[in-house]
Amino acid sequence: MTLYIGLIYLLLYFEGQDDNSPFHNFWEGVWYSTVTITSVGYGDLVPVTPLGKGVGFVFVLSSIGLYTFFISKLTNYIGTINEDRKMGFGGTKFTNHTVIIGWDHYSKAVAEQLLEVGGKIAIVTTNRENIDLIYENFHHSKSVFVLFSEYDNYDLLRKANIEKSNIVFINNEDDTKKLVLLLNIKKEFPMLKFIVTLDNSDLKDTFKSAGVTYPLSKHDLSSKLLASYIFEPDVAEFGEELLSVARTDNDYDIKEYLVIDGNPYLNQWYDDAFFDLKKKYNTILIGVSKIYKETRTLIKNPEEPVKIEKGDYLLLICNGKYESKITDIFGIEEGIVHDLKK
């Protein structure tokens, strides 16, 4: 500012030596410098002395530097905003979503299955390189949110709206680190539900005691499927199909729907619903899950009379052809609903 004011006074000094100069006071110098620096250049005030023109030339060069400075600042600011958004620092408004902590090929496979059934996922990774890979894999899907954060940074974990998630899938390096992370997150967010895949199946009870809702052993799952393929391959093939997403009309999978007001089978007996679903929609009712005080009781193909009540979950084997019809008549998308009030 001192240099700027000094240049104006210098301009007035040089121009004051010529009676034909249009500069007579300080404010005319301010006006000229302003329209010159901002590249407006009205031309109503123009230096007439050689030295005055020299000062004017300095103002012209200053305009170039000023614009370069502001453009650079603006570019950096926009770049910072875009980078923060890419890193997930702006947060997400996802609710009833799955938070995946840790990213590898296994997490990718789980995410793909969740997206196939219309789920929303928030992925937390400590590896910056994973960010670009995730966006590349899912093509900036609106159902995917990515957060670059340390797993124990709870302020950043809140950016993934972890408190309103349906479940948290912990998939970092080894079982020991998973247990430590689980205990720390559980302490900060005690109401969350967790699912963990274990390398050591002997630790299932330990993780269950630590508060994991669903501790799963990769070894147990793969060994059971392998044994089934050896002993009864058709059962194994059908079972694997049921666990995957029905991508065509002829594919089958198992679906789970919450019973809400308007469900045509609300307050009906299980057997009546079974025969009606098979007759109208070629869909097989295989079980019902009842929830009482957050305790789930799964009733598989019940022998005794069971009434379908509001808040129950119906388990169905359904093909792709009738999936949308089932969703329409039930009035809700498949999957677990985090907040029954909503």
Other CB atoms closer than 10 Å to residue 336's CB: what's the count? 14
pLDDT at residue 329, as a whole number: 94
pLDDT at residue 341, as a whole number: 47
Structural domain of 123: 98-221
pLDDT at residue 181, as a whole number: 93
Tell me, yes or no, whether 75 and 103 share the same domain: no
The residue among 186, 221, 256 that closes a domain is: 221
Structure tokens at 197: 């895949």
Please indicate, yes or no, if residue 230 is contained in any of the structural domains: no
Please indicate, yes or no, if residue 58 is contained in any of the structural domains: yes
Q: What is the CATH number of the domain that holds 213?
A: 3.40.50.720
The residue among 39, 56, 87 that closes a domain is: 87
Tell me, yes or no, whether 140 and 104 share the same domain: yes
Please indicate, yes or no, if residue 229 is contained in any of the structural domains: no
Please indicate, yes or no, if residue 93 is contained in any of the structural domains: no
Please indicate, yes or no, if residue 239 is contained in any of the structural domains: no
* Residue 172 burial (C-beta neighbours within 10 Å; 0-12, 13-18, 19+): buried
Tell me, yes or no, whether 103 and 213 share the same domain: yes
The residue among 221, 254, 284 that closes a domain is: 221
Q: What is the CATH number of the domain that holds 54?
A: 1.10.287.70
Please indicate, yes or no, if residue 26 is contained in any of the structural domains: yes
pLDDT in tens, the chain (342 residues): 888 788 888 888 888 888 888 888 888 888 888 887 777 777 778 888 888 888 888 877 877 777 788 888 888 888 888 888 889 999 999 998 999 999 999 899 899 988 887 889 999 999 999 999 998 888 878 999 999 999 989 999 999 999 999 999 999 888 999 999 999 999 999 989 999 989 888 899 999 999 998 898 877 777 777 788 788 888 888 888 787 777 778 888 899 999 999 999 999 999 999 999 999 999 999 999 998 877 889 999 999 999 999 999 999 999 888 988 999 999 998 887 755 444
Tell me, yes or no, whether 141 and 186 share the same domain: yes
pLDDT at residue 339, as a whole number: 55
Q: Helices 2-15 and 50-87, interaxial angle, to 10°? A: 160
What phi, psi does 336 have (nearest 5°)? Answer: -75, 135
Please indicate, yes or no, if residue 125 is contained in any of the structural domains: yes
pLDDT at residue 125, as a whole number: 95
Tell me, yes or no, whether 210 and 305 share the same domain: no
Please indicate, yes or no, if residue 25 is contained in any of the structural domains: yes
Domains identified in the chain, total number: 3
| The model scores a pTM over 0.95 | no
pLDDT at residue 338, as a whole number: 54
- Rounded alpha-carbon distances, angstroms, from residue 238 to 16, 189, 222, 301: 97, 38, 15, 18
Nearest CA-CA partner of 189 in 146, 145, 151, 217: 151
Tell me, yes or no, whether 107 and 79 share the same domain: no
